[in-house]
Structure 1
């Protein structure tokens, strides 16, 4: 056993997913998101909520109209069961802490404050770019696994809006052909997408007391930072590989136990190469099935990791692995076992699934999910 495994062994208490609420371009609820992802039809359409005539692309994965983020967050918290009272009078659900990932601009504070006022929750805001929500999940899982909390609420939200759309377009990060093509030859970049997600994480005793049913288990988690470059990943994917090894060590699992990887896969030329290198380093004998669901629901920035955790839980429960949409031709630098053409049956339990995220500055996260 490695020194890392000794230091970072299995959690003392199981961390269970007791509820999920979702709003995405596929509609309301986890079922709508799961069905949309497994259908493999990208949700990218022409942006209607603001003008895009000055940009290179006019596509994003947006829901109808111009919803308010605070409204969406309150709705998903209610849907996840985060606002309902405990069945145990000794454990009232009032004034709970909410770990919430939001885009790090001037709007984050007012959104968090409104959610707090309307729900009675105490928000702790995470703004660490595209790993913000995964960092919040890791913190929540650590609190439960160590016995310091019985239940922790995690939420995240981003709605496509003109400021970030223009910034990513100006940086030529958005795909010019209106599609996201992870790990494919000819990929041109990412496209943004709406997401508001809430997840209730609980200990087994807390879930049992309220008569709930676990949707999944967070078996392992890890985060790393290689600080290689302000916006480029390390070409060898070393930081992401260390995050995966850390999550496996925390779960007490070997790489062979992983039956699916929901990759970060944003469709960028350098990012996908680095991630493929990381996966090949972790799985030298051949990767498990891989796809990036950003290819259908888009990139929700700080909310991406929580949306993709919800997707991973949904597809494991459905027993089917989603396709890597948009793929055109193999890239020799990305020799992965990609799920193409149609969904694949998921391996029977207790196979584990990895959901990976990466952010500017060399930040990487890995969450390891087990079906329940």
Structure 2
């Protein structure tokens, strides 16, 4: 018998601001946060836009605030923290090298260890750097350990701050939208844009949460991962790997495809990726793919790379709790390659029971999380 995995504490910061309310308000209104980058010189870049926190500190400082906030939100005391490990999703770009010079960390693993120490968490810490599924992989592994009794509780955090290296890399690859907007699943979409993303979540077994009389914000009901290795950069046009990940997540959650009330899609706004994701949803959800509301919150807060899975999971939990659907910002007109029921304006409040949060990454890595109401 497995344990239910509850979400008992959350924290998130994006270019919309610090605090769950700021990011939730932005995605529910479909209010993009992209602007010209001021953090560094973009030089001769084709695209100079990103979604950045104007007063961002070091990655280590932002993550510490997020972890502390999530733990307070979850009502964890010092004794609880000392028994709780940290799973961290973070990259290895300019932001970490800058932290190295400040003596804060030595790569993602060092950052995880130092962060756990500073936040009073258990000494054992894990770091995940598997590109854009790092955050969802950390969530899936924490949930698995809790569900099968290896842990009672874990803190999962993810962090990315837009840096010169990544901005230049994606700009050189012509992946960034040169019109300054992300338009997932829309005709005329021109690419992705990067965005700051810092988030943390407390995952806990129902037994442990009940013992503390903790309030659950939601449940991580199912998770699935699959690889397709179709191409080093491009996804499988048929969406086969992502469809398998979705099917496995639904099976683990005991939820039928027709019971999904919302999909927070990977939705980067790139031509190939959006079409492949739409194909995957049609395979995994069959006829329900025509009816389920779909949006990508990256259209508001940008792509947080390794941190995306945690940021978007937290936002999905918050949206279910609010009974509101995030808006797919930037949408212009339907595209025949990815016809879905996109959320293009703020809908009325609804009863939302189950949602999917999807991520995939270069190299054919795919992940799906089933998020359920508390």
Residue 211 of structure 1 deviates from its aligned partner by 2.6
Correspondences of 1:15-54 after superposition (within 5 Å): 15-54=5-44
- How much is the aligned-residue C-alpha RMSD, in angstroms? 1.8
Structure-2 residue corresponding to 1:102: 90
- Normalization by structure 2: what TM-score? 0.92
Work out whether residues 42 and 296 of structure 1, in 8 Å CA contact, stay in contact via their aligned partners in 2.
yes
Match of 2:59 among 57, 64, 69: 69
Work out whether residues 183 and 331 of structure 2, in 8 Å CA contact, stay in contact via their aligned partners in 1.
yes
Work out whether residues 81 and 120 of structure 2, in 8 Å CA contact, stay in contact via their aligned partners in 1.
no
Superposed CA offset, 1:71-100 (max 9, x none): 01110111011698856x9x6431632110
Structure-2 residue corresponding to 1:5: none
Structure-1 residue corresponding to 2:112: 112
Match of 2:302 among 290, 298, 319: 298
Determine whether 1:328 maps to 2:316. Answer: no
CA distance in 2, matches of 1:219, 1:116: 26
Change (3 A) 1:86 1:159: closer
Correspondences of 1:126-137 after superposition (within 5 Å): 126-137=128-139
Superposed CA offset, 1:108-155 (max 9, x none): 244334313422433210000000010000000001110111101100
Deviates more, 1:222-231 or 1:103-112: 103-112
CA distance in 2, matches of 1:104, 1:135: 17
SS of the aligned residue for 2:125 comes to strand
Q: How many residues of Structure 1 are paired with residues of Structure 2 in the alignment?
A: 358
Residue 302 of structure 1 deviates from its aligned partner by 0.2
Superposed CA offset, 1:219-268 (max 9, x none): 10010001111111000000000011000100111111100000000001
SS of the aligned residue for 2:247 comes to helix
Match of 1:338 among 326, 339, 342: 342
Residue 344 of structure 1 deviates from its aligned partner by 4.6
Correspondences of 1:224-235 after superposition (within 5 Å): 224-235=226-237
Moved over 4 A (4+): 82-87
- Normalization by structure 1: what TM-score? 0.92
Work out whether residues 127 and 302 of structure 1, in 8 Å CA contact, stay in contact via their aligned partners in 2.
yes
Change (3 A) 1:14 1:66: closer
Determine whether 1:58 maps to 2:48. Answer: yes
Superposed CA offset, 1:12-34 (max 9, x none): 11000010011111111111111
Which stretches in structure 1 are left out of the alignment for 5+ residues? 1-10
Residue 335 of structure 1 deviates from its aligned partner by 1.3
SS of the aligned residue for 2:363 comes to helix
CA distance in 2, matches of 1:124, 1:134: 14
Deviates more, 1:74-83 or 1:177-186: 74-83
Which stretches in structure 2 are left out of the alignment for 5+ residues? 98-106
CA distance in 2, matches of 1:160, 1:369: 27
Match of 1:271 among 267, 270, 273: 273
